[in-house]
Amino acid sequence: MNPFFTTYTTPFHVPPFDKIKIEHFKPAILEGMKQESAEITSIAYSEAEPSFENTILAMENSGQLLTRVSSVFFNLNSANTNEEIQAIAREMAPELAAHHDNIILNHPLFLRVKQLWDTHESLKLNAEQIKLVEKTHKSFVRSGANLNEADKAKLRTINAKLSLLGLNFGQNLLAETNAYQLLIDKKEDLSGLPEELVLAAGESAKQSGNEGKWLFSLQNPSVMPFLQYADNRELRKQIWEAYTLRGDNNNAHDNKEIVRNIVNLRREKAALLGYKDHASYVLEETMAKTPENAYKLLNQLWQPALNVAGREAFDLQRMIDDSGAQFKLAPYDWKYYTEELRKERFDLDEQELRPYFSLDKVCEGVFGVATKLYGLQFKELTDLPKYHEEVSAYEVSEADGTDIGILYTDFFPRASKRGGAWMTSYSSQKMENGKRISPVISIVCNFSKPTGDAPALLTFDEVTTFFHEFGHSLHGLLSNVTYRSLAGTAVSRDFVELPSQIMENWAAEPEVLKMFARHYKTNEVIPDELIKKLHHTGTFDQGFATIEYLAASLLDLDYHTQTKELKDDVDSFERQSMKKAGLMDEIIPRYRSTYFNHIFAGGYSAGYYSYIWSGVLDTDAFEAFKETGDLFNQEKAQSFRMNVLEKGGTEEPMVLYKKFRGAEPGIKALLKKRGLNLEPEKKVI
């Protein structure tokens, strides 16, 4: 029996992963589309006068089978995929795009929605109901409901093509990442590498049938420390080139033409819908509102960050020259010499920190912060169905035991998982008959694995990533709205990163570090001296970090503010974009075009700027806690919970932020955190 065809009877209504088989997906997707189509037809052609209940709420409650199967299928396609799942995804993508268009371009249905929006002031609706009507109406209009039939047909064709292109982009990137191996057979070529990395590489080689050798991959826990520590410059260059040429190798998995087609189709779609460009279409529904405002913030930060990065490059070149080497600093040298400079300037080797960041202790620390802020309790459940043996599940509850939701965690890289880190949901929070239906949330990461007898020991960057994704999960878990479509992370891209990024601020605080940072062998609390060293490096290398991020954000906006067909080769466009910005040769964008998954397969098109936009928000918001002298100030914590984490998309983001902070944010806290010198304006966003 197909487990998707009945309501889940599992504890907490989690997906029955132990019963779901690959052959269940396609029939459930097809049946789900069939059922939702029938439900939508019934709503659209109802003879009853349109009302909130028989139209908006009926739509909100439609398609439950398709929602169930889609949430599982697409999450597994990201976190635990295989060739069969990928084939189904390719086959179903155009079908699902057409199904969505059949709903959103249904004219009788739109007329009912429009009538309700036009008369909403007289309908005696509450604020959340009005917001849902508004969001539904906007969704129809922005999806082409007002177009004539010929243009609707064009739009359908574009949407079908885009759905498949984005899918192919991600599958190509995963294939390119998995295809590369740096196999080392000479021990001297391991010079400089940390013992844990060497052990992991040895285990990887053994698993691949190359016992006695060392295998390094393009997964972040392998490639990034290799670039940071390997003394062999030629090998650093090899793995760096493999990493930065993913999707750009003129082979079966090349993404250049896919990128060009996506950019052109998005531009064509925006024009069809009446917008100047794709970025204008996307940003209309964000805090930034326009591409000009997004560019303004990025450009405001660019030159100060570039100045700092230039000084950093000078210091790294000095180290190269002082060593007697005779070469110019290259991008594949940056991490290596930055680590050398960190040791020289701060007497800190990042490897000193890792023994204090065992994954289980970091997990305790992350949960502990949530307990102190919001009173949340976490209980691991070993009997819940899981989609992979490495996944853990936790019951999250209030201090009094009231159920909040389920949190899945999936931490380690594997060939079946795409790179990066993200939060997702298997079911969103909503209300039914006055009862809160709790969500099922998941965070997926790619952290360093256990090696030998040691547990998984994280870098500090991985620690902050954990805090970041956990912040997203709190946004989903603590949601307390009536309607699923407004729950949790159903907010604009440049606001959704606030709950995640504010959590990163707690990770580095001495008070918090002492809660969880204990040596995995001795259980010794991290020494004050090591914490001081970590804090002294707070603004170290921030020129580089800011510039590589800003470069990728500018590249994203440059692609999506195109008003004419992109005919240039993607590599040429990227070079011209970076030349226009003034990017220095020693740094490349954080993501080059052919592996920029965020914007070509991850839903962040024209929105990568949002991390820095939210950075203004999160640093300003964290100051609210710091100003009280108590990192866990209960008044501030409860205000942040009630005004941000619980509200989802029920109100405008700036309204919610001002309810918490009392004013719009300033940029001063962000500049201080990044060590950038800029005369701040009072209001920048």
Coil, helix or strand at residue 422: strand
Residue 649 near residue 491, CB atoms below 8 Å:
yes
661: its two tokens: 């902070």
579: its two tokens: 């030349």
231: which residues sit within 8 A by CB, 6+ positions away? 191, 192
Total number of residues shown for the chain:
685
Count the neighbouring beta carbons within 10 Å of the beta carbon of residue 522: 8
Backbone angles phi, psi at 91, to 5 degrees: -70, -40
Residue 558 near residue 577, CB atoms below 8 Å:
yes
Residue tagged active-site, from 36, 268, 340, 469: 469
439: its two tokens: 């969500």
Residue type (1 letter), 423 = M
Distance between CA atoms of 169 and 597, rounded to whole angstroms? Answer: 8
Residue type (1 letter), 578 = M
Which residue, among 506, 442, 438, 444, has the nearest Cα to 478 in the 3D structure?
A: 438
Residue 443 near residue 410, CB atoms below 8 Å:
yes
651: which DSSP letter? S
Distance between CA atoms of 679 and 63, rounded to whole angstroms? Answer: 52
Beta-strand (E) ranges in 417-521? 422-427, 430-432, 435-437, 440-444
How far apart, in Å, do the first and last CA atoms of the chain sit?
53
Burial degree of 223 (CB within 10 A; 0-12, 13-18, 19+): buried
469 is catalytic: yes
Residue 76 near residue 417, CB atoms below 8 Å:
no
Which residue, among 151, 164, 167, has the nearest Cα to 268 in the 3D structure?
A: 151
Q: Catalytic site residues?
A: 469
